[in-house]
Amino acid sequence: MDFEEFSRAHSRGLVRFAAALTGDTELAQDLVQDALVRAYLRWSRVSQLDKPDLYLRKMVTNGYLSWRRRWYQRSVQTVPQLPSRTVADHAGRVDDTAEVSALLATLTRRQQVAIVLRFFEDRTDDEIADVLGCAAVTVRTHISRALAALRAVVRTEPLETR
């Protein structure tokens, strides 16, 4: 598969992945574009990999992690506030992108990546470990701790305001 075919086939999924991480579609597009440019320069090697799409996700993840480090050094970090609203049908909350982004923002960057890859992209522990550059057991630890942290955040909000 040549680079143009690959980028056409995978760029939407990469942008969705990056948007889930960042909560910002424009930043997600920038991260994916940067990763695709870097991949294009090394396409002869990248195309030979078993899962080049997973390698691109690793590139996007690394771009996201370094962007967050640069942003944190320049900015004052605030704790995101969950939107407060009353909803009679609690199933309607599942779709709320702003709430999901706010919940993800309460996690560490590596936990965010692990959660997005597992639950938004249905990736295995080994695939997530490849993206994060760690062992599969570390991935399970990240996911376990992230889910515990998310449960704690959700439990602290009164049911009628979620």
* CATH number where 98 lies: 1.10.10.10
Quick one: 8 and 69 in the same domain? yes
Contacts 24+ apart (CB under 8 A), 85-90: 85/161, 85/162, 86/160, 86/161, 87/162, 90/159, 90/162
Alpha helices in 42-135 (DSSP H): 43-46, 52-74, 97-105, 109-115, 125-132
**Distance (Å) of CA 127 to CA 8, 132, 150:** 22, 9, 23
Per-position pLDDT tens, the chain of length 162? 789 999 999 999 999 999 888 888 888 999 999 999 999 999 999 999 999 999 999 999 999 888 755 554 444 444 444 444 444 555 455 456 778 888 888 899 899 999 999 998 899 999 999 999 999 999 999 999 999 999 888 887 654 454
Quick one: 1 and 31 in the same domain? yes
Range of the domain at 148: 87-162
pLDDT at 71: 53
Quick one: 73 and 93 in the same domain? no
- On whether the CB atoms of residues 51 and 126 are closer than 8 A, the answer is no
pLDDT at 21: 86
**Distance (Å) of CA 11 to CA 19, 32, 37, 132:** 12, 7, 12, 20
Say if 30 falls within a structural domain: yes
